[in-house]
Every structure is written in structure tokens, then in C-alpha cells.
Structure 1
Amino acid sequence: MAMEGAAQSEYNSSTEGVQEHSSSPRKSQSPPPSTDHDENKISIKFLLSNAEAGSIIGKGGSTISDFQARSGARIQLSRNNEFFPGTMDRIVMVSGPIDDVLKAVDLVLNKLLDESYVEDGGDVGPRSKVRLVVPNSSCGGIIGKGGSVIKSFIEDSRAGIKILPQDENFPGLHDRIVIVIGTLGEQMRAIELILYKLAEDAHYVQNMNAPFPYAAYLGMNYGPPNGVIGGRYPNNRYQNKMEPNSEDRNNSVTIGVADEHIGLVLGRNGRSVMEISQVSGARIKISDRGDFMSGTSDRKVTITGSQRAISIAESMISKKVATVTES
């Protein structure tokens, strides 16, 4: 599999002198009758693992540049440490006229399928899963009254389509995951139907140009990077339970941050720690100079609030310190 190397996280599309090509087993069914949206640009987002993203980018960006040239769409990826909240997966956004977007998605999924499965000689292609990222406000249109729209999409495409509930563990996150399961042809037909439905949503079209608005969640749920922060000590018994009352705001945890890095957490005039507190909803207290965690030169940073708030605050602190320790 090609590695990402020094490729950039964003590439410009180019179609000059390159012919379109796709080996997808996509069905030959025509799209919905209306073609009013064909000339309008639209975007679609989906998730890839870091390894899959590296494969799509290719050595020096060769693969993603080729896909952009062949499709006419623009393909953007979040950076290799920018994940969708609650996952270890990067976000891919494909933009352009609908037909170009579908060509690009087809190329991406085709490549991943070729690398994941060995041809077994069967008549039916392997079934796989693709996870689309769709604003919560647009999911109602995909579901339809009484589930009528999503049922029609499933019947038309023969793919399995499931919309996951909004993840309440991440305050301010307004996107949901739409899982599409099937052969490549079935997936592409389902994505085509979903994309045309999204194109009818004026709010979706107006707000589709913010590809990766998840900066506040970086590192969440995976723990801090190795060596970034010191010891982590729960200050009550609750922290050691797997089924806590997540809204109990009396939970508290103390982490250690190297004395020389505490300024990154505080920020100028305390702005950084105020921002972390506001975004997470947690209360944050930093020990006085000389008040270290036992046996270390790490200052004590005590985070108090719900488990969710603590998790967000701890991740944001880790990210700030990592900007120095990983350079």
C-alpha cells in the first residue's frame, strides 16, 4: 500500500488531458429524473482509516491527484492526526458537480476494494461498508416521513442503509454517520440517491464548505499521546467504573503537565485555559508554582465536571502540550 509521505492534506483538481476511467461494477441505472443540480457544486464526506487515507493519497500525492484529474472533483482529507470524534478515522470530503463527485467516490471505493479483497471468481462482488458523514439537520430528508425515503433507497440500491443516532458524548457535534453496506455497485447507487436528496436541501448546500470542523475534539477517546502529560489520577471512585453517570458533575481527575509547558495550557492572560473550560464545560485548576505531583516536576492540573467534560478538557490540554513535545 502506498504511504502518505510528505503529501499535503489538500489537492487541487485538474482534468486537462486525462480521460475518465472507472472499473466499478456500478449499476447502469440512470439517476433521478431531475438534472437541475448537475451544474451545481456539492460535497459529500465519508470516513477512512489512516492506512486507507495513505493509500488514497499515494506516494507524493500521486494517487489523489490522478483521481482528481480523472473525475474532475476536488478531494480533501483531514490531516493524519485529525479524526472524526469518537473514531480513529480521517474525514474525506469530495466536492464538485454531482457526476464528478460520484466518479471520484467510485474511484476511491474501487481502489480500497481492490486492496482489501482477493478475487474469488464469484459472480457477486464482495460486500463492504462505507460511512458517510451527514449533518443531523439533513438526515430527516434521507429518512422521509415514516421512513419512506430511506426504504425506497434501500429497495432501489439493494444496499443496507443505516443512520446512527447523534452521538451525545460530543457536545456541539451536529453530524451523524450514515452507514451504507453492499457491493460496490449497490453502495454507489445508494450514495447517488443520497447525494441527490442532499442537493435538494438548501441548508446542506450552503454549509457544505466547512470540511473538518472537529478541531475541538482532536485526540478524544484515545487518551493523550505518549509522554505528553504525566500521571493521571482520578480523585473519586467514580472514575474507575465503566458504567458511570456521565452527567455527574462532581467527578474530578488530576493530570500532570511539565512545569515548562504549563504556559501552553494557561495561555496569555489565561486565555487558553478559559477556552478549554468554555468548550469542554469543565472547571480547571492549575497548582501554584512549586506545587508538583509527587516525585515529579509536573504541575497539577485538576479537571472537574462530567466525564464527558473531563474527556474533552484532557484531550485539548494534551493537544496543546503535544505541539511542543512532538516537534
Structure 2
Amino acid sequence: MEPTKVQSEGGLNVTLTIRLLMHGKKGETVKKMREESGARINISEGNCPERIVTITGPTDTIFKAFAMIAYKFEEDIINSMSNSPATSKPPVTLRLVVPASQCGSLIGKGGSKIKEMRESTGAQVQVAGDMLPNSTERAVTISGTPEAIIHCVKQICVVMLESPPKGATIPYRPKPASTPVIFSGGQAYTIQGQYAIPHPDQLTKLHQLAMQQTPFTPLGQTTPAFPGLDASPPASTHELTIPNDLIGCIIGRQGTKINEIRQMSGAQIKISNAMEGSSERQITITGTPANISLAQYLINARLTSEVTGMGTV
């Protein structure tokens, strides 16, 4: 059997899309790259410090575009060094955005593939352990000389063509970054001081979710024989410990704040009595996961406003 012909003049001539994370505005440069590489290059809009650059085309045009990007970055590094006392030239670094379902193939069994890439190209390759916020994509960071990077991108393209993404990919979209965002348990949080606060748009969703009284039946689970007995999602319980001196801001005057939090979140909230010798109080929140998340958020928001003196929330 004849081997299938994938090679064509040093590139795998298949149409492929590669996504890249970049900082700043590089409009004119991109225009030039489009013309010279023949690849389709799009840049995400929005006032985000990070942009997603999507490069689509036959693989040889993608490699040309990447070569131009790598050399452009190197040129920027050299220019910025001419005004700085640093003597050693930092490597060029590119960040690709790759569907998480393809990252396993890039890493290989026990890290074998990524190790082979590092050794054969001389570039440093790292696959982020966590997915990018609100997406099923991971960042793959490649750094080294432009030549090493181009070599490495070629190998990554081969792997991506050999193992296409499985299932639907939720693409990463950079958020206008005013504060860092973390992603946990399907929920986006921004960090304010030492508290994690859900994203405003996430908060509305969460509130709607908490207020939905519709039964939540996991797939494959049959409805109970006695409807009404098990109509609501299983309630879970979450405990928080709050310093005594901050409990007042959560309870509010004659319990007004805590009642507000109970109403808004739909969760049951119990605050333990002050224990002798203990400087902390236990808060027990019971409800669906959405109720609990919302109650936790509202409690954190109260604490944040108290601790940072941001006024009432």
C-alpha cells in the first residue's frame, strides 16, 4: 500500500486554523502579513489587552505567517533592548490557543511527544494545566529563537491535523481586563482584594439559575415514581467561617442584610451562636449549588465592602 501523500513543498498542504494570543495593536503589521503569507488572518475586536489572532489557510501559508510573526517579535525585542541595559536577549514567546481535547496528543504518553518536540526543535513548549476562562481551550506557550518556534509550530500543526478536536470546542474570548479573572466550578470570578467575586454577567445567570424552581434531572436519570417528592435538585450544604468582628455586616441591622441575602439567593442560611473563646462564627448555607454560589457571593460582597470600606453593596 502506498503511503498517503501529505507532504507538499515542505508543508502539509491542508487547510488548518491556528489561534494565537497576542497583546496590543498590530494592525499594520497584520495587513502586511496577510499580503505576504497568503493566509487569512483575523484579529478579535474589543478593548481587551489580549487579542486572539486566527490564522487560516493551507499549512504552508500558516508557516509563512508564523515565521513573519516570530521575526517581528524578535525585531520588537531587539528594538526594546537598544534602550535597556540588558545584555542577554530574551527568547521570542508565542502563545497558541489549542482545544483541550487536542492537548493530550501534543503532550503524548507520559509527556513523550512534548519532550520530543522540545528536543528536536530547541524551543521551550508548555501546555497550560488549566483551561482558559469560559472555554475548553488551553494556552500552549512556545519560546525560543524564531527558527526554533517555526520548527515547533510545524510539528504542532502535524499533531493537530493527525488528531482533530473531539466534541465541540468552546473558544476562548478575551475579556476586557480590569481585574484578573479566575474560573472555578463552571463559574467566572474576578478577584477583588482577597475575595473572588463572580463576573457581573455570570451573576445575573447565577441569580436566574438560583431562582429557577424547575426540577433538575441529570441525564439518564428517570423521573421519580412520586412526582413532587423529589422535584427540586438535591440540596447541598456549605459551611463558611467568618471572624466575629465581621459578622455584624452580614447580619445587618435586626437581620436585614442576612434576610436580603436569603431572599436573593434562595438559600437557607444559619449563623451559629458565638462560642465562648472562639473568635469566629460558623455560617451554614443549604440549597442547590446555584443558591449556595449566590449566597457565598453576596456574603463575600458584604465582607469586601466592609473590609475595603467601599460603602454598602
- TM-score (structure 2 length as normaliser): 0.53
Residue 310 and residue 190 in structure 1: after superposition, are their counterparts in 2 closer, same or farther (change >3 A)? farther
- Say which of 25, 32, 35 aligns to 1:69: 35
Q: In the aligned structure 2, how far is the partner of 1:182 from the partner of 1:39?
A: 25
Distance 1:136 1:173, change over 3 A: same
Comparing both chains, which one has the higher relative contact order based on Cα–Cα distances under 8 Å and sequence gaps of 6 or more?
Answer: 1
- State percent identity of aligned pairs: 23
CA shift at 1:164, angstroms?
A: 1.0
Cα offset, 1:218, TM superposition:
2.8
Q: Report the counterpart of residue 57 of structure 1 in structure 2.
A: 27
Equivalent pair of 1:282/1:310 in contact (CA under 8 Å): no
- Whole-angstrom distance in 2 between the partners of 1:40 and 1:110: 24
Alignment of 1:134 with 2:98, yes or no, is yes
Q: Are 1:35 and 2:7 matched, yes or no?
A: yes
Q: Runs in 1 of length 4+ with deviation above 6 angstroms?
A: 281-284, 300-304
**One-letter amino acid matched to 2:57:** G
Are the structure 2 counterparts of residues 40 and 219 from structure 1 closer, same or farther at C-alpha, using a change threshold of 3 Å? same
TM-superposed deviation, 1:108: 1.8
Q: Distance in 1 between matches of 2:67 and 2:52?
A: 16
Partner of 2:175: 218
Equivalent pair of 1:166/1:174 in contact (CA under 8 Å): no
User: How many equivalent residue pairs?
Assistant: 202
Structure-2 residue corresponding to 1:229: none
CA distance in 2, matches of 1:101, 1:66: 14
Q: 1:240 to 1:43 in 2, by over 3 A?
A: closer
Equivalences for residues 163-242 of structure 1 within 5 A: 163-167=127-131, 170=133, 172-203=134-165, 214=173, 218-219=175-176, 222=179, 242=194
| RMSD of aligned residue pairs (Cα, Å) | 4.2
CA–CA distance in structure 2, aligned partners of residues 305 and 220 of structure 1: 27
Conservation of the 8 A alpha-carbon contact between 1:133 and 1:176: yes
Q: Give, in angstroms, the shift of residue 44 of structure 1.
A: 0.8
Measure how far apart 1:241 and its partner are: 6.3
Amino acid at match of 2:27: I
Query: Displacement, 1:115?
Result: 2.0
Q: Which has the higher strand share?
A: 2
Q: Is the 8 A contact 1:141 1:197 kept in 2?
A: yes
Give the match's secondary structure for 1:117. Answer: helix
Q: Distance in 2 between matches of 1:144 and 1:152?
A: 9
Counterpart residue type for residue 55 of structure 2: V
Give the SS at the match of 2:45: coil
Q: Secondary structure at the residue paired with 2:36?
A: helix
- In the alignment, structure 2 segments of 5+ residues that lack a partner are 83-87, 182-190, 213-259, 266-290, 302-313
Find the partner of 2:112 among 137, 143, 148. 148
Equivalences for 1:43-122 in 2 at 5 Å? 43-50=17-24, 54=25, 56-58=26-28, 63-82=29-48, 88-118=49-79
The whole-number CA distance in structure 2 between the counterparts of 1:310 and 1:102 is 46
SS in 1 for 2:12: coil
- How far apart, CA to CA, are the structure 2 residues paired with 1:207 and 1:74? 23
Q: In 1, distance between residues paired with 2:175 and 2:160?
A: 27
State how far apart, in whole Å, the 2-side matches of 1:158 and 1:35 are. Answer: 23
Contact 2:99 2:165 in 1 (8 A): no
Letter in 2 for 1:57: G
1:200 Cα shift?
1.1
TM-score, normalised to structure 1's length?
A: 0.51
State the shift of 1:221 in Å: 6.1
1:18-29 map, 5 Å:
none
Rounded to whole Å, the distance in 1 between the matches of 2:142 and 2:40 is 22
How many Å separate the matches in 2 of 1:154 and 1:198? 17
